[in-house]
């Protein structure tokens, strides 16, 4: 008896050949709320709930890595109330994640400059990361105060510093070594990057890591992006031929 029953009109996913790493730009929360006459913060609450559902599902189907864009280096420009609401949702999620970690067995990481977060939120991220080190289920990476350009600038500075200290050779830097300077150190590049909500851009997300990613765009807003939408994205990915610059 298969674990996931397929209906005739559902996208056909080969669960034995899933992408190893899926990355998602969780976009469209504000528009989802506006359509319902609700405040933007209600959209983020629905988005956070959907993140729980999708992350749990990714773990259940055996995905190795899921990375989500939760808060960018540019998102601080939003009204204080909205920033506060997103931080509140993160806190709520991390508290729950810590409580349920033994059951879920997910590994959690954070990409981004956490120093700008409140000490309480930083401590929760640290605790989550530490506790989850003992688990080797799906690794969920939450991008927080993350920007692809910021990540590359930090990497360039750290590399320059290592060169000055004699720990690195300025004439020799490989792709792999560069990866070691990024927040995503040790995590394979995303195979599939999904952006819901109809926007067709990367918005400073995983600039280095997405070099050979396949992209999937849909008009569906993030709070409505359900398992069936994820299946569509994976099926589209599986129908493509990846050549990595070869033929």
Active-site option among 27, 104, 150, 191: 27
Question: Does residue 219 have an active-site annotation?
Answer: no
* Residue partners of 14: CB distance under 8 A and separation at least 6: 238
Q: Nearer Cβ to ligand FPP, position 29 or 155?
A: 29
Residue 142: CB minimum distance to ligand FPP, A:
5
Positions in 87-106 near ligand FPP (CB under 6 A): 89-90, 93
Question: Does residue 14 have an active-site annotation?
Answer: no
C-alpha closest to that of 29 among 225, 192, 193: 225
Q: Which residue is nearest to ligand FPP (CB)?
A: 30
Q: Cβ atoms within 10 A of the Cβ of 217, count?
A: 17
* Residue partners of 26: CB distance under 8 A and separation at least 6: 47, 50, 51, 68, 69, 70, 196, 222
Out of 18, 24, 30, 209, the only residue in the binding site for ligand FPP (CB under 6 A) is: 30
29: contact with ligand FPP by CB under 6 A: yes
181: contact with ligand FPP by CB under 6 A: no
Asked whether 196 and 225 are in contact (CB, 8 A), the reply is: yes
Which residue ranges make up the site for ligand FPP (CB under 6 A)?
Answer: 26-31, 44, 47-48, 51, 68, 70, 75, 86, 89-90, 93, 142, 197
């Amino acid at each position: 008896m298969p674990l996931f029953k397929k209906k005739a009109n559902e996208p056909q996913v080969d669960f034995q050949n899933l992408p190893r790493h899926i990355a998602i730009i969780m976009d469209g929360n504000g528009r989802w709320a506006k359509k319902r006459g609700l405040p933007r913060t209600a959209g983020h609450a629905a988005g956070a709930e959907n993140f729980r559902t999708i992350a749990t599902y990714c773990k259940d189907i055996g995905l190795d890595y899921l990375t989500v864009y939760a808060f960018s280096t540019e998102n601080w420009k939003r009204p204080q109330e909205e920033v506060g609401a997103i931080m509140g949702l993160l806190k709520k999620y991390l508290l729950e994640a810590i409580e349920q970690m033994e059951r879920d067995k997910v590994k959690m990481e954070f990409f981004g400059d956490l120093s700008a977060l409140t000490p309480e939120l930083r401590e929760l991220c640290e605790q989550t990361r530490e506790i989850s080190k003992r688990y080797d289920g799906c690794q969920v990476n939450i991008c927080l105060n993350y920007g692809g350009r910021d990540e590359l600038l930090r990497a360039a500075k750290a590399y320059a510093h290592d060169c000055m200290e004699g720990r690195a050779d300025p004439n020799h830097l490989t792709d792999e070594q560069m990866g070691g300077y990024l927040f995503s150190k040790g995590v394979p590049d995303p195979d599939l990057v999904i952006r819901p909500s109809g926007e067709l851009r990367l918005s400073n997300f995983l600039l280095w890591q997405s070099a050979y990613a396949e992209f999937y765009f849909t008009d569906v807003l993030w709070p409505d992006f359900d398992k069936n939408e994820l299946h569509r994205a994976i099926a589209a990915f599986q129908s493509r031929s990846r050549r990595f610059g070869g033929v």
